Amino acid sequence: MSVVSLAITPVVPSMSSVVTTSTPSVVTSISNLKPDKKRSLLFDWSLVSNIWIQWDSYKYANGDTRKTFACRFIKHRESSTQQKENSPNEKRRITKIRPSGLCLAKIKVSWIVSSKVVQVKRYNNSSNHTHSLIEIDRIKQSKAVRSLVEKEAVKNSPPAITAAVKEYATVKLDLGECVCELKCKEVTNIKYKVRGLMEVHLIGNSNLKLDILESISYLMEQRYQVENYRVPQRSTKGIVFVHPEQLKKLERYGWLMLIDSTHKTNRYDWRLFTLYVCDTYGCWDVGAHFFVNNHSNIEAKGIKKAFSGIIAGLWARQHFPLLLQVTSTNPLESFHSKLKRITSSLHGLIGVTHNIVNIDYKKRSESESVAFNFRIKKVSAYDVDNSILEKIHKFPFPFQNLIIKEACVIMCRIEKGKGMPGLTSLDCHCLFCNRYLLPCKHIFHEHLYECGAQTEQQKSAENRRLVVAELTERVRDRYWSVEETGNIERTETFVSMLEVSLNPIILQFDQSKGKN
């Protein structure tokens, strides 16, 4: 009889009777007790499994079974205090130990086959518990709590799991006392153990040939086109696979492609290569994958064979800078980074293919969302005229984001008192315009002024700024023309006359400003 079977029997003994009397007390009805109350008074194994550890057991000839359980605090095995010799104190590992013999409470549980009764009583007049239930929970959680954590372990991070379990156990199950001492560290340990069980199917077959066959079978189930290849003269073999939707993009947008490899994704150390393409919506997506068992010089030779343009020197990271702005392989490296976060070097090829299929599906979903937003989504911005927004909305959404930033800068230019660019045509040579071939802030500023989008007050202010700028420029030019003659007396006379002329004007307006 297992310990769990004690928990599911309809006859449950009272804990209070167990620790105070030597005779068993049987309770036949517990339906009216709440879980927290049941935990305090009754022997519900899933709620108190963390309290007791099995001490010994015996099975009689007539089929009856007897098991003795001791309180966890009895700790009949003392912690090791052995330390390495000749090791300095600052380098020794600091550990925590729990003393033994803190509680000597024991119970004896008997299963009587003939009468189908469970008897629980004090073992040989052992002492009562010398601690509370919460003190036990700080050391180890009960089976009921651990089961709740295991159910949530596949979904969230440890802090989120801890909060969710505490809320659910308190509100829905009335087990607030059980989970009050649940910590993130223990949740992390439980999650790690559960993850190991969940990843068994990713380990795959220990036989490489069978692992390859299973991987190919799984990929074909997911509608991938798969080819198993071999190069006998080079002892090279591998797998090429691609989803039909990704193959369409590879055929259509293959003129711009990123290729990179990553390692340590499987226990055979087969190198994974990925082809990445950029569609017309500016979204990077997977083109194809292939495994190679022997990657010595394979990458360089494979690229030259598959992409003959490299021989003619036609390749570059920024082949079409005005349209594509491709300056790095970061999109593909990000894909491999996501894959390696969920993949272990202990996995087989079947495990890597499972994770690749999942990430591929997410990437296809993202590209579909980008394609939908490309024409449908509209940008909105505060303090931008509706007539301007209507013009901006005629562009695709990614371009709208670029243009709206330039449009918003116009207000800052006007507030700072910057003059019009003075463009003679709708053509500018700033970095933004040269890079994207789109209207920039200078063109917008010129357009607003020419089309009367400015108010009369703004136009007057603009004209005054131009007059002041012109006068300042004339004075500066005249000064340098006098200075360059080398006649110091004449230069000083010019400066003196300028000061005499300007000081009264400045003083007058300073005084009027003070009065206001």
What single string gives the DSSP state of each residue in 37-48? HHHHHB--HHHH
Q: Which residue reads 């290849």 in tokens? A: 229
Q: Are residues 274 and 391 in the same domain?
A: no
Is residue 454 a part of any domain in this protein? yes
Is residue 166 a part of any domain in this protein? no
Instruction: Give, in order, the Cα–Cα distances in Å from 297 to each of 236, 269, 273, 311.
Output: 11, 16, 13, 16
- Cα(191)–Cα(157) distance, integer angstroms: 9
> Is 265:340 a contact under the CB 8 Å cutoff?
yes
Q: How many residues does the chain have?
A: 516
Q: Are residues 402 and 268 in the same domain?
A: no
Q: DSSP secondary structure string, 414-476?
A: HHTTPPP---SSS---SHHHHHH-S--HHHHHHHHHHTT-S-HHHHHHHHHHHHHHHHHHHHH
Tally of CB atoms within 10 A around 443: 21
The conformation of residue 126, written as its DSSP 8-state character, comes to P
- Write down the pLDDT at residue 274: 92
| H or E, element range at 205 | none
Q: Are residues 446 and 396 in the same domain?
A: yes
Is residue 406 a part of any domain in this protein? yes
Is residue 237 a part of any domain in this protein? yes
Confidence of residue 33 (pLDDT cuts 50, 70, 90): low
- Write down the pLDDT at residue 299: 54
Containing structural domain, residue 277: 202-310+327-374
Q: What is the CB-side half-sphere exposure of residue 42 using CA atoms within 13 A?
A: 25
Q: What are 231's strand-pairing partners?
A: 236
| Chain mean position to CA 469 | 54
Range 275-279, long-range pairs (CB < 8 A, 24+ positions) = 275/250, 276/331, 276/332, 276/335, 277/249, 277/250, 277/253, 278/253, 278/324, 278/326, 279/249, 279/252, 279/253, 279/367, 279/371
- Write down the pLDDT at residue 424: 59
Q: Is the pLDDT of residue 145 over 60?
A: yes
Is residue 61 a part of any domain in this protein? no
Q: Is the pLDDT of residue 380 over 70?
A: yes
Q: Are residues 285 and 360 in the same domain?
A: yes
- Write down the pLDDT at residue 304: 60
- Higher-pLDDT residue of 311 and 132 is 132
CA angle at residue 288 from 285 to 292, to 5 degrees? 135
- Higher-pLDDT residue of 313 and 472 is 472
Q: What's the average model confidence in pLDDT over 138-165?
A: 80
**What is the sign, positive or negative, of the torsion defined by CA atoms of 492, 497, 500, 502?**
negative
Confidence of residue 514 (pLDDT cuts 50, 70, 90): low
Helical packing angle, 184-198 and 143-152, nearest 10°: 60
Q: Are residues 421 and 332 in the same domain?
A: no
> Is 17:119 a contact under the CB 8 Å cutoff?
no
Would you state the structure tokens that stand for residue 117, as one six-digit string? 């009764």
**pLDDT above 90: percentage of residues in the chain:** 10
- Write down the pLDDT at residue 218: 92
- Where in 43-200 does DSSP place strands (E)? 52-59, 65-71, 106-112, 117-122
Q: Are residues 363 and 401 in the same domain?
A: no
| H or E, element range at 389 | helix 386-392
Q: Are residues 393 and 492 in the same domain?
A: yes
Confidence of residue 504 (pLDDT cuts 50, 70, 90): confident
| H or E, element range at 226 | strand 225-231
Q: Are residues 335 and 272 in the same domain?
A: yes
Q: Are residues 409 and 355 in the same domain?
A: no
- Write down the pLDDT at residue 122: 84
- Write down the pLDDT at residue 404: 82
**What is the sign, positive or negative, of the torsion defined by CA atoms of 441, 443, 449, 453?**
negative
Q: What are 109's strand-pairing partners?
A: 67, 120
Q: What are 72's strand-pairing partners?
A: none
Write the single-letter amino acid at 117: V
Confidence of residue 220 (pLDDT cuts 50, 70, 90): very high
Q: Are residues 365 and 423 in the same domain?
A: no
384: exposed, middle or buried (Cβ count in 10 Å: 0-12, 13-18, 19+): middle
Provide the whole-model pTM.
0.48
Confidence of residue 289 (pLDDT cuts 50, 70, 90): very high
- How are strands ordered across the β-sheet holding 271-278? 225-231, 236-242, 284-292, 271-278, 257-262
Is residue 206 a part of any domain in this protein? yes
Is residue 161 a part of any domain in this protein? no
- Write down the pLDDT at residue 17: 30
The conformation of residue 14, written as its DSSP 8-state character, comes to B
420: exposed, middle or buried (Cβ count in 10 Å: 0-12, 13-18, 19+): middle
Q: Is the pLDDT of residue 318 over 70?
A: no
Domain tally, the chain: 2
- Cα(220)–Cα(205) distance, integer angstroms: 18
Average pLDDT, the chain: 75
Q: Is the pLDDT of residue 96 over 50?
A: yes
Q: Are residues 299 and 398 in the same domain?
A: no
Write the single-letter amino acid at 35: P
- Higher-pLDDT residue of 52 and 239 is 239
The 3-class secondary structure across 272-331, one letter per residue, is: EEEEEEECCCCCEEEEEEEEECCCCCHHHHHHHHHCHHHCCCCCCCCCCCCCCCCCCCHH
> Is 153:197 a contact under the CB 8 Å cutoff?
no
**pLDDT above 70: percentage of residues in the chain:** 71
Q: Which residue reads 């119970």 in tokens? A: 107
**Phi, psi (degrees; rounded to nearest 5) at 351:** -70, -40
> Is 482:465 a contact under the CB 8 Å cutoff?
no
**Phi, psi (degrees; rounded to nearest 5) at 384:** -115, 130
Reduced to 3 DSSP states, what percent helix, strand and coil does the chain have, rounded to the nearest 5?
Answer: 50, 15, 35
Is residue 267 a part of any domain in this protein? yes
Q: Are residues 370 and 390 in the same domain?
A: no
